[in-house]
Amino acid sequence: MTSSRTRLRPFRTVVSALALAAMTLTPIAQAWAQSGRGPTLLRDTEIEEILHRQSDPIFAAAGLNPKDVRILLVGDNSLNAFATQGQQMGLNTGLILEAATPNELKGVIAHEAGHIAGGHPIRSGELTRAGLRPMLLTMGLGLLAMMAGAPDAGAMVMASSGQMGTLGALGYSREQESRADQAAVGFLEKTGQSAAGLVEFFDKFRYQEVFAEARRFPYFRSHPLSSQRIELLRNRVTTQKHYAVKDTPAEIAEFEMMKAKIDGFMNPSAALVRYKESDTGIPARYARSIAYYQSKEPDRALKILDGLLLDQPGNPYFWELKGQILFDYGRIAEAEAPQRRSVELKPDAPLLRINLGQTLVNLDDPKKRDEGIAELKRVTLLEHDNPEAWRLLAVAYDRRGDEGLARLATAERYYAYGALNESRAFAIRARQLLDRSSTDWVRATDIVMASDPSDQDMRALSREASGG
């Protein structure tokens, strides 16, 4: 995963849509590491692939284009999931860990797809009032980040307070919940899967309906639950043709790997207890390796990981983790080989290329630094709004003495965050340093024009264009 000593890095970071990620835009491991401080947007290629592999048939059944649905992984141990405008679905790591089977998780995903397909995030009432509290809270987090010596992150968090308010406002009526339930059953049935998992998941938390609002899990505060609703859902599900269909062994295996990875990063102490040394299964060893890494015992983590690589030498994520551990503990030269291997095995994964690019630009070798720049530029072609790639590019260009490109990369990074004032300022500086005949100069101009320029900025651009 991606981050800075949060590397679940964790997931490298996402961004613009939810400024939740603003405080952790670093490689996977890093993000995972920081996740204990509060909700964080995480990015991890392995987990994203598993979630999409199990969700995309459901999205297609819902009439959605799976490529347009963005699954946001939120590093938070509380049980929650949400659907937002723009076909975005958020899943808390706590909810994934709470699901007992792939079918339970797919049931929740199908339910959230029902909200998206039904347009419920757009029609949810009392949006402004419900969003006020989280908006103010986010502004407070931004101020704290500034006071802690992270002014850029603080500014971005504060700029995102309106978006965070939108997240907090997502509460659905009982009528919308019932419609999403029924839609979920239809989606799963259409894909030849059972909706029994959704009933089982809700039934486990039936007791939530008797709790006061403040004591309920976040999911059941925004998704009202009742015994009557569960029974209506059960009656429909049991009549479906595919009611008895079970998860496949492959689905169960990847589900267990996903939970092991999340548990190791999010709850390392508990994971070392839960996944006992006597358990020699792949998921248990994976969880222990990550947990030791998170617990600052890299040698123990690497020993377990080397055993996993003997068993599965073609697993790109084991190589990714090994490179991540070595890099984070200062063994940068050693990190290069496993990171190269992960990219060879998974060449279409931008996050793996970020790891390799970061290592190469940190080696004391101009040729490898330039190779690292090339890797990071490939990432920006695949994910143009990846702020971590732009940040690393800015660092690499600065080290190479390309000040104009460094400022342009920083402008791109802020633009990905949605921090338009900062983006415009760096783009203006980049234009002053870049060759006016270059495509980079044109791109810097585009960013200025797209970043809400002031009248003064527009007059300056006009004078420049006319040769004044």
Q: State pTM to two decimals.
A: 0.82
Let me know if residue 211 belongs to a domain: yes
Question: Is residue 321 included in any domain, yes or no?
Answer: no
Q: Record the tokens describing residue 303, joined without a space.
A: 């020993």
Domain that holds residue 449: 401-468
Q: Can you tell me the distance from the alpha carbon of 331 to that of 8, in angstroms, rounded to the nearest whole number?
A: 18
Q: Residue 391 and residue 382: Cα distance in Å, rounded? A: 16
Q: With CA atoms as reference, report the closest residue to 392 among 9, 49, 36, 17.
A: 9
| Rounded Cα–Cα distance for residues 219 and 235 (Å) | 23
Q: Is residue 212 part of a domain?
A: yes
Which of 237, 254, 278 is where one domain is finished? 237
- Give φ, ψ of 234 to 5 degrees: -60, -45
Phi, psi of 125 (to 5 degrees): -80, 170
Q: Are 259 and 283 in contact (CB under 8 A)?
A: yes
CB 104 within 8 A of CB 33: no
Rounded mean pLDDT for each run of 10 residues along the chain, 468 residues in total = 43 36 32 50 94 97 95 91 86 95 97 88 48 46 45 51 45 77 96 96 81 69 82 95 97 98 96 96 98 97 98 98 97 98 97 97 96 97 92 96 97 90 94 94 94 83 68
Q: Is residue 164 part of a domain?
A: yes
3-state helix, strand, coil in the chain (%, to 5): 70, 5, 25
Phi and psi at residue 87, to the nearest 5°: 55, 50
Is residue 370 a part of any domain in this protein?
Answer: no
- Last residue within a domain, chosen from 191, 209, 237: 237
Spatial distance between the Cα atoms of 360 and 327, rounded to a whole number of angstroms: 11
Residue that finishes a domain, picked among 210, 237, 264? 237
Q: Long-range CB contacts (< 8 A, 24+ apart) of 93-98? A: 93/35, 93/42, 93/262, 93/266, 95/219, 96/258, 96/259, 96/262, 97/259, 97/262, 97/263, 97/266
DSSP string, 398-461: HHHT-HHHHHHHHHHHHHHHT-HHHHHHHHHHHHHHS-TTSHHHHHHHHHHHHS---HHHHHHH
Give CA–CA dist 303/308, Å, rounded. Answer: 9
> Does residue 442 lie within any of the structural domains?
yes
Residue at 215 is within a domain: yes
Residues in Cβ contact with 193 at an 8 Å cutoff, skipping those fewer than 6 apart: 57, 103, 106, 242, 245
CB within 8 A of 141, min separation 6: which ones? Answer: 23, 38, 157
Tokens of 88: 């975005």
Q: How many whole angstroms separate alpha carbon 420 and alpha carbon 393?
A: 19
For 384, list phi and psi in degrees, rounded to 5: -65, -25
Q: Which of 245, 328, 269, 312 is nearest to 29 (CA)?
A: 328
**Which amino acid, 146?**
M
Number of domains in the chain: 2
Say which amino acid occupies 419: A
Residues 6+ apart with CB under 8 A from 267: 77
Question: How far is the C-alpha of 294 from the C-alpha of 399, rounded, in Å?
Answer: 30
416 belongs to a structural domain: yes
The reported pLDDT for the residue numbered 85 is 76
